[in-house]
Homo-oligomer: A and B are copies of this chain.
Amino acid sequence: MPKSHKKHDIFRAALKLFSRYGYKKTTVEDVAAELGMTKSNLYFYVASKRDLYEQSIRHALKQWRDSVAAAIAEKNDVVEKFKVMALTSFQYLADDEELRSILIMDPAIFTLTPAEDRFYEINQGAMLLIKDILVQGINEGRFYDIDVDHTTQFLFSVYIMFLIKTYIKSEGVSAFRMYEEGTALVLRGLCRSHS
């Protein structure tokens, strides 16, 4: 079995247990047992319990981002791209119960501030998805000639805020309606002409 696939199994097993019992209550031995190996062998793949935890989350976050990127790639029209991005990136969490559960137990994973973001590179990748759409919209003359970087940061912050509101604190339906209304408002603020 290739090592990368083995790591995939490890991270998925770890995520499963961490999401059920939380970081503290989950022992390295629990994870090893779930994988049918000894705990000392787990240390062949990760540096520490903390490392196992962070890498497991990293792994899940990357899958999320790639899934959104794939959905965007299917569209050509900028406005469609924007809408798909807003929707799928938001909906994704509804399906991954384990990741959602971890996020609730460890809300610091979603931070409003880049400086204390443990998953900075991954989120940078997510912001790039937004930025590319803004750039395309501006180049095609469909979006106003805005400050791309600051608007990207603005939109990403709003997005993170809604994830927190919807999934971490669970405002559910109400937050989703706000998200719809907000997305529409923002899209009007971006587009030169409205249909």
Contact = CB atoms under 8 A, between A and B. Distances in A.
Interface residues of A, number: 33
A164 interface: yes
A123 to B, nearest CB: 15
Interface stretch (A6-14, A16-24, A52-60, A186-194): A186-194
Contacts of A150: 177-178, 180-181
A151 B177 CA distance: 9
A189 B112 CA distance: 24
A153 B185 CA distance: 13
Q: Is the interface of A mostly helix, strand, loop or mixed?
A: helix
B165 A178 contact: no
B153 A188 contact: no
Contacts of A178: 150, 153-154, 157
Nearest to A187: B189
A81 to B, nearest CB: 18
Nearest to A113: B169
A150 B190 CA distance: 20
A161 B112 CA distance: 8
Contacts of A189: 184-190
6 contacts: A115-B169, A157-B178, A158-B158, A186-B189, A188-B189, A189-B190
Interface of A: 111-116, 144, 146-147, 150-151, 153-154, 157-158, 161, 164-165, 169, 171, 174, 177-178, 180-182, 184-190
* A-B residue pairs, 7 tightest by C-beta: A189-B189, A113-B169, A185-B189, A188-B189, A150-B181, A154-B182, A154-B178
